Amino acid sequence: MTPSAISHEELAEAWPVLTMEERLEGFALLSRVDAEELFLRLESHQQAELLMAFQPAERRAWLRLLPPDDAADLVQEVQREARDGLLEQLDDQTRREVVALLAYEEDAAGGLMNPRFARLRPDMSVDAAILYLRRQTREHAENIYYAYVLDAEQRLLGVVSLRELMTAAPTKVVRDVMRAEPLSVPEDMDQERVSHLFAEHNLMALPVVDAEGRMKGIVSVDDIVDVVREEATEDIQKLGAMEALGAPYLDVGFAAMIRKRGVWLFVLFIGEMFTATAMGHFEDEIARAVVLAMFVPLIISSGGNSGSQAATLVVRSLALRELRLRDWLRVLGRELRSGATLGTGLGAIGFARVALWQHVGFYDYGPHYLLVAGTVWLSLIGVVLFGTLAGSMLPFLLRRMGLDPATSSAPFVATLVDVTGIVIYFQVASLVLRGTLL
Amino acid sequence: MTPSAISHEELAEAWPVLTMEERLEGFALLSRVDAEELFLRLESHQQAELLMAFQPAERRAWLRLLPPDDAADLVQEVQREARDGLLEQLDDQTRREVVALLAYEEDAAGGLMNPRFARLRPDMSVDAAILYLRRQTREHAENIYYAYVLDAEQRLLGVVSLRELMTAAPTKVVRDVMRAEPLSVPEDMDQERVSHLFAEHNLMALPVVDAEGRMKGIVSVDDIVDVVREEATEDIQKLGAMEALGAPYLDVGFAAMIRKRGVWLFVLFIGEMFTATAMGHFEDEIARAVVLAMFVPLIISSGGNSGSQAATLVVRSLALRELRLRDWLRVLGRELRSGATLGTGLGAIGFARVALWQHVGFYDYGPHYLLVAGTVWLSLIGVVLFGTLAGSMLPFLLRRMGLDPATSSAPFVATLVDVTGIVIYFQVASLVLRGTLL
């Protein structure tokens, strides 16, 4: 190891903001050990970019540093044409494993698992099992904290932790100390469901089995951390009125970024056009009482904000399984009370604002200013109530229809409430102000 | 174990929506083993509620089921007056550990760690170390996958995985096979930073040390899954215009819920009041050209949506450390281009909408409809551009000021853009329509 001008930690920190030339330059300055450390720390898409920037002859050693699940993730990140070339660089066993992994959906248990795990036979003695594990480890089992007990057909019979093995009487057989019929997941289970199983059962690892009960690999809890983070990012981006980017901000190309943001902006814009239609309906009212137009943004945005709150709460609770579809009626009851309470509170402030401005002389709302203030109050109750109801029920509806509740719920509700809010506001106004301003 | 009418899995599923009476009833129906399984699966606050619903004499056995870190979490969830009573139910050693843990902030490394871990001395032989670990395990070390090598003053010297020990030559000493100067975290490190270290280094566990380098406990990766989920929930709720609830939707009392939502709704309402002030400024313009009022919601909401997108993207990227403070200028450049592109696109659609409605005869915008359409187009460019800039820069500003960038960024930006959008729109209108409509 030779001393280098830049540490691999510093380089890893700066990585996302460097050009590929700067990365290659920095990488070349590192000692081999540090460069390997850095390479292992990079995300799959970063590893793929870097690897493809190397000379083809250099790629093999770097690719072979990776366990099969990470190698499969990397291969998935390069262009289709280049994949076979990379696969050829692997040793035969790893190549077979990687090819098998590539057949799985990226976000399924099979795409997440490591095909290498510690295996035991049920009739081994505990002592023999420990000895056997010591040997397996030296070869390739990345994770020997659990060992899986398989029959001759590779069917999963039980699981035993290394800790249980080590504390068991050495002369017992594995079958006596293993837990039989352990929790396992099918290859095609969605990674989000897998992550919930980990959370519910406080697991360190879960075996993945095929339709015949044959064990194919293990998913371990450190992979789940990434899944949880990734799924939260997707939901946050969807709630923020766009498609999930699927990669860090600075790594997404400009055109892709515009597409993922533009689609939802356009959809919401089309929806929001109905506000112009709704306003057009009340053109006469606005012409007669211009003062009414002034409160439109205040009133509809309050509905939008309360709707976003409700949508955000329900979407996240559904994602965390804190709420189920069947809870919709309880939520409805709760949101009715919340909406009424919050709307009444906001309305009171709105009323006070109009009355105060009139008294202090900031603005003259005319002789009927109390009626204007009352219109604002009543409208806010209606609009906030509608916002919380729409915001809390839309995610249930989306889930019921088999769609992702996060899909743009909050901004979609805000748009819906903008249009409805205008109608509510002018209806209230025509009731309250008939014979005076209107 | 006796068969029971309801499985502990079913009961755990239904738990959040049951009344305490139903929970106690269901719990009583379970076999002891199943009841224990269920108890261990509950969240700390659920365990605390259940425990306090039991007779005081019954509490001890349940409390003693828990390892010290989980017991500390539970104790933290009960009312202050009841805590001492619970602590007395613990055995002396656990009580000392729990009291020590309670001194830490809940969201610091110290509050997250387990004070029980496997210890080795540097001069033990590998064989003696394995034997010693087998004995420690039988007592209380929950996690023996890593063993920590301490000197006589409990200072952390190194770490060795069980796997490394098992594959090492039995006659070597621990010092020869351990990794020296392992990564460790101070007791008061924020849990979010701890979770980033796990992600960056692909760790299974991290030792926690005090200011003198003495080892106090370990944080393991399964605790980090909860941290990641919790932090994402907080960010999602803050982005959704409220304070973080800190507990599942159905577990939060009505008054607390109203408070956490109301505070931000009121703040945003106060901010949004400036839209009425801004509209008031343009009262004459509205009176002369009522048609202008109709596009106010459409234009300001487009700015709000594009601002929310930008804020959401930057907040999440900052949280994931994909973006750093120093990247603000790169982001600014990117968002300028995005805002201009998206605003031009939306504006074109807005222009087409006005022109089309006029031609088809849906609405009559008067002889100067092309100028109205042009006003909409130009305003949308300005408003969307301002939205993306405000949305992308505000999170940087909040972070720079040492505040949480997630704090209501998206709705705050929407409110800011609503007010500014009105001003931009009417300014553009008075430029474009001077001499015709205005």
Nearest to A225 among B224, B305, B337 (CB): B224
Nearest to A308 among B313, B349, B411 (CB): B411
C-beta of residue A215 within 8 angstroms of C-beta of residue A205: no
The percent of residues above 90 in pLDDT, for chain B, comes to: 40
| Angle in degrees, CA B417, B241, B251, rounded to 5 | 170
Tell if the CB–CB gap between A228 and B229 is shorter than 8 Å: yes
- Helix-helix angle B409-433:B221-239, to 10 degrees: 30
Residue B2 has pLDDT above 60, yes or no: no
Tell if the CB–CB gap between A268 and B232 is shorter than 8 Å: no
Nearest to B273 among A272, A298, A308 (CB): A298
Calculate how close chain B gets to A238, using CA atoms only, in Å: 9
Tell if the CB–CB gap between B410 and A240 is shorter than 8 Å: yes
- On chain A, the residues whose CB falls within 8 A of the CB of B226 are 199
Q: Which residue of B has its CA nearest to A284?
A: B290
Nearest to B342 among A228, A250, A258 (CB): A258
- Give a three-class secondary structure readout of chain A: CCCCCCCHHHHHHHHHHCCHHHHHHHHHHCCHHHHHHHHHHCCHHHHHHHHHHCCHHHHHHHHCCCCHHHHHHHHHHCCHHHHHHHHHCCCHHHHHHHHHHHCCCCCEHHHHCECCCEEECCCCEHHHHHHHHHHHHHHCCCCCCEEEEECCCCEEEEEEEHHHHHHCCCCCEHHHHCEECCCCEECCCEHHHHHHHHHHHCCCEEEEECCCCEEEEEEEHHHHHHHHHHHHHHHHHHHCCCCCCCCCHHHCCHHHHHHHHHHHHHHHHHHHHHHHHHHHHCHHHHHHCHHHHHCHHHHHHHHHHHHHHHHHHHHHHHHCCCCCHHHHHHHHHHHHHHHHHHHHHHHHHHHHHHHHHHHHCCCCCCCCHHHHHHHHHHHHHHHHHHHHHHHHHHHHHHHHCCCCCCCCHHHHHHHHHHHHHHHHHHHHHHHHHCCCCC
Tell if the CB–CB gap between A346 and B290 is shorter than 8 Å: no
Q: What is the pLDDT of residues B248-274, one digit of tens each?
A: 888 888 899 899 999 998 999 999 999
Tell if the CB–CB gap between B250 and A323 is shorter than 8 Å: yes
Tell if the CB–CB gap between A229 and B199 is shorter than 8 Å: yes
pLDDT at position A3 is: 44
- On chain A, the residues whose CB falls within 8 A of the CB of B343 are none
Tell if the CB–CB gap between B225 and A226 is shorter than 8 Å: no
Calculate how close chain A gets to B88, using CA atoms only, in Å: 27
Tell if the CB–CB gap between B302 and A265 is shorter than 8 Å: yes
Calculate how close chain B gets to A376, using CA atoms only, in Å: 12
Chains A, B: CB contacts under 8 A, how many? Answer: 340
Q: What sign has the CA pseudo-torsion B147, A148, B203, A90?
A: positive
- On chain B, the residues whose CB falls within 8 A of the CB of A342 are 258, 261-262, 265
b/e sequence A24-61, b meaning 16+ C-beta within 10 Å: eebbeebeeebbebbbbbbbbbbbbbbbbeeeeeebbe
Report d(CA B59, CA B50) in Å as an integer.
Answer: 10
pLDDT at position A143 is: 64
Residue B106 has pLDDT above 60, yes or no: yes
Nearest to B317 among A162, A166, A249 (CB): A249
On the 0-12 / 13-18 / 19+ scale of CB atoms within 10 A, B254 is exposed
The residues, ordered by sequence, that sit 6+ positions from A110 with a Cβ below 8 Å of its Cβ are: A101, A103, A104, A187, A188, A208, A216, A217
| B127: amino acid identity, one letter | D
- Percent helix, strand and coil across chain B, each rounded to 5? 65, 10, 25
Tell if the CB–CB gap between A250 and B337 is shorter than 8 Å: no
pLDDT at position B1 is: 38
- On chain B, the residues whose CB falls within 8 A of the CB of A206 are none
Number of H helices, E strands in chain B: 21, 7
Tell if the CB–CB gap between B345 and A262 is shorter than 8 Å: yes
C-beta of residue A338 within 8 angstroms of C-beta of residue A380: no
Q: Which residue of B has its CA nearest to A15?
A: B322
Q: What is the pLDDT of residues B415-438, one digit of tens each?
A: 999 999 999 999 999 999 988 877
pLDDT at position B407 is: 81
Calculate how close chain B gets to A100, using CA atoms only, in Å: 24
pLDDT at position A177 is: 92
- On chain B, the residues whose CB falls within 8 A of the CB of A312 are 236-237, 239-242
- Helix-helix angle B80-88:B92-102, to 10 degrees: 150
C-beta of residue B331 within 8 angstroms of C-beta of residue B323: yes
Question: For B264, phi and psi rounded to 5 degrees?
Answer: -75, -35
Over residues B128-143, the mean pLDDT reads 70
Q: Which residue of A has its CA nearest to B263?
A: A342
Residue B342 has pLDDT above 90, yes or no: yes
C-beta of residue A122 within 8 angstroms of C-beta of residue A174: yes
Nearest to A293 among B204, B286, B304 (CB): B286
Tell if the CB–CB gap between B266 and A241 is shorter than 8 Å: no
Q: Which residue of B has its CA nearest to A289?
A: B287
- Residue B215 tokens read as 């080892």
Tell if the CB–CB gap between A17 and B199 is shorter than 8 Å: no
- Residue B365 tokens read as 């915008």
Tell if the CB–CB gap between B237 and A12 is shorter than 8 Å: no
- On chain B, the residues whose CB falls within 8 A of the CB of A265 are 302, 305-306, 309, 342, 345-346, 384
Calculate how close chain A gets to B28, using CA atoms only, in Å: 21
Over residues B314-338, the mean pLDDT reads 91
Tell if the CB–CB gap between A237 and B334 is shorter than 8 Å: no
- On chain B, the residues whose CB falls within 8 A of the CB of A311 are 240
User: Closest Cα to residue A71, out of A44, A37, A46?
Assistant: A44
The residues, ordered by sequence, that sit 6+ positions from B61 with a Cβ below 8 Å of its Cβ are: none
Confidence of residue B186 (pLDDT cuts 50, 70, 90): very high
- On chain A, the residues whose CB falls within 8 A of the CB of B279 are 293-297
Tell if the CB–CB gap between B283 and A296 is shorter than 8 Å: no
Q: What sign has the CA pseudo-torsion A140, A146, A147, A151?
A: negative
C-beta of residue B416 within 8 angstroms of C-beta of residue B271: yes
Write down the mean pLDDT value for chain B: 88
Low-confidence ranges of chain A (pLDDT < 70): 1-5, 137-144, 408
Q: What sign has the CA pseudo-torsion B328, B329, B330, B331?
A: positive
- On chain A, the residues whose CB falls within 8 A of the CB of B42 are none
